[in-house]
Amino acid sequence: MIKRALSGITPSGSNLHIGNYFGAVKQQIELQNSIDQTLYFVADLHALTTVHDKEQLQNNIRNVVLDYLALGVDPEKSIFFRQSDVPQHCELSVILANYISFSHMQRMHAYKDKLANDSEADINMGLFNYPILMAADILLYQPDGVPVGEDQKQHVELTRDIAQNFNKRYGSEILKLPEPLISKTLGKIIGTDGVRKMSKSLGNVIGIFDSEEIIRKQIFSCFTDPNRIKATDPGKVEGNPVFIFHDLLNQNQEEVDDLKARYIKGSVGDVEVKEKLLKAHLTYFQPFREKRKELEKNNKLLENILRQGAQRAQNLASETLNKVEEAIGLTKVFN
């Protein structure tokens, strides 16, 4: 039984997209309402691997805080905080780096993907060490489960390896091994290109809180069945991104069934399918968009939420850090 869950989002782009929502955040909100304790945070230190502009970073952080709260993170039910407000993340990260090998770190996807396109000279050490900071993010709070999308699976596995190496040396009860909580069906939401996972850096996203104009553009850029040239050609629904998105967003099942049936027959055009997808998107997220507008006006409230969250997170984090420091010999040298 999962009792405590923790997860985070990196403010590396401006707004969250529907891949983030259906792949991770939705599950996180459900857990918030069903298990003992949930902790969610904005991983701002992680964003430094790519964002080196002060204003952009501040904007990104602000946007992700607003998005996360608008999507349903409730600071009364969850501990909601900003990573850099809790210095224990950095401290534990420095410690944990000593319990994993360089060659193991070279096998991490984020590093390997970057290496496939850039030279080593263009890869900063923050990116290379990123999974160790993520292990610290997790292990500090001893969660049973980490609700994330499929792309984070390797990071949770690394976290378990680091914890295991540490425990083997210092005692099996010190760091709890977390389970990745990944939805089998929604763990990897496809992008508008219909090929790769939806991702900020690939530019194949459908936003949640962007303007209607931008969301329209994103939806209308969406790939459909590549073999269907005219609206009268019979089309394929399975694996077709517009229909994958309809299944996620459109709450009018009758309409979805009708569109699919007509698409298969060749009696509906892409424009109608996409127009209806846009409408479904705006309907689905309307309450969240309204909540976000309210929150935007209330800087004081946001500041208070983060301050309180940081305090509660620090209390838990310092317990684990003390335990770790005690185990490895960093405390009480002259007692």
Binding residues for ligand TYM, per CB under 6 A?
6-10, 19-20, 23-24, 43, 46, 134, 137-138, 146, 148-149, 151-152, 187-189, 197-199
Catalytic residue among 77, 153, 176, 197: 197
Q: How far is the CB of 139 from ligand TYM (least distance, A)?
A: 10
Compare residues 50 and 252 and give the one whose CB is closer to ligand TYM: 50
Rg (CA), the chain: 22
CA–CA–CA angle 24, 27, 30 (5° rounding): 150
- Supply the minimum distance, in Å, between the C-beta of residue 94 and ligand TYM: 16
CA distances from 90 to 61, 84, 93, 126, 317 (A): 18, 8, 5, 12, 11
Q: What is the DSSP string of 121-162?
A: GG--HHHHHHHHHHHHHHHTT--SEEE--GGGHHHHHHHHHH
Candidates 26, 200, 274, 276; catalytic one: 200
CB nearer ligand TYM, residue 75 or residue 241? 241
The question of whether 114 is a catalytic residue gets the answer yes
19 vs 235 by CB, closer to ligand TYM: 19
The CB density around residue 102, as the number of other CB atoms within 10 Å, is 8
d(CA 196, CA 18): 14
Name the residue with tokens 């194949």: 204
Residue with smaller CB distance to ligand TYM, 157 or 326 = 157
Q: Kindly state the smallest distance separating residue 207's Cβ from ligand TYM, in Å.
A: 13
Distance of closest approach, residue 22 Cβ to ligand TYM, in angstroms = 7
Contacts for 37 with CB less than 8 Å, ≥ 6 apart: 3, 4, 5, 79
> How far apart (Å, rounded) are the C-alpha atoms in residues 177 and 143?
8
Q: Considering beta carbons, is residue 24 or 61 the nearer one to ligand TYM?
A: 24
Residues marked as catalytic: 114, 197, 200
